[in-house]
Amino acid sequence: MKIKKGDQVKIIRGKDRGKSGRVLQLVPRDAKTLVVVEGLNLCYKHLRPKKDREKGQRIMFPAPFDLSNVMLVCPKCGKPARIGFKILTDKSELNREKKQRICKKCTVAI
Ligand SMILES: [Zn+2]
């Protein structure tokens, strides 16, 4: 998975194009993963009054959108980055291979 919870991402499509925010949640759905970003892609959910005296409410919430609409912002160079993977062999863990994300711009592990 390229994007993780807590990552800073930039939106490249949709109404919030160009804005960035922090990943709050990754939502697996069918073959793809949706992403919820703090303060972005805000939608209203309308709630009907349940009781007589209650008012209907509008609740604002960040709606999930497709992972392909976001780009990871590299914390090192601060730019929206394409991600590569580097395979590391960790000798301490029975030679298990580890994937490390790297920024293709500055080639630093992130
Ligand atoms: Zn970078």
Ligand 1 mean position, distance from CA 43 (Å): 31
Same domain, 66 and 91: no
Cα–Cα distance measured from residue 39 to residue 50, given in angstroms and rounded to the nearest whole number = 28
Count of CB atoms within 10 A of residue 7's CB? 20
Neighbours of ion ligand 1 (CB under 5 A): 74, 76-77, 81, 103, 105-106
In a domain, 3, yes or no: no
Expressed in angstroms and rounded, the spacing between residue 100 Cα and the centre of ligand 1 is 14
pLDDT one-digit tens code per residue, 65-93: 899 999 999 999 999 988 998 887 766 66
Can you tell me the distance from the alpha carbon of 85 to that of 101, in angstroms, rounded to the nearest whole number?
A: 5
Domain-located, residue 93: yes
On whether residue 54 sits in a domain, the answer given is yes
Mean pLDDT by 10 residues, the chain (110 residues): 90 91 93 92 88 85 92 92 84 72 90
Q: Are residues 85 and 43 in the same domain?
A: no
52 in the same domain as 102: no
**Residue 20 CB-density burial (10 A; 0-12 exposed, 13-18 middle, 19+ buried):** middle
Range of the domain at 68: 8-73
* Interval between CA 66 and ligand 1 midpoint (Å): 23
**62: domain CATH number?**
2.30.30.30
Tell me whether residue 1 is in a domain.
no
> pTM, whole model, 2 decimals?
0.79
- Name which of 104, 48, 53 is nearest 77 in CA terms: 104
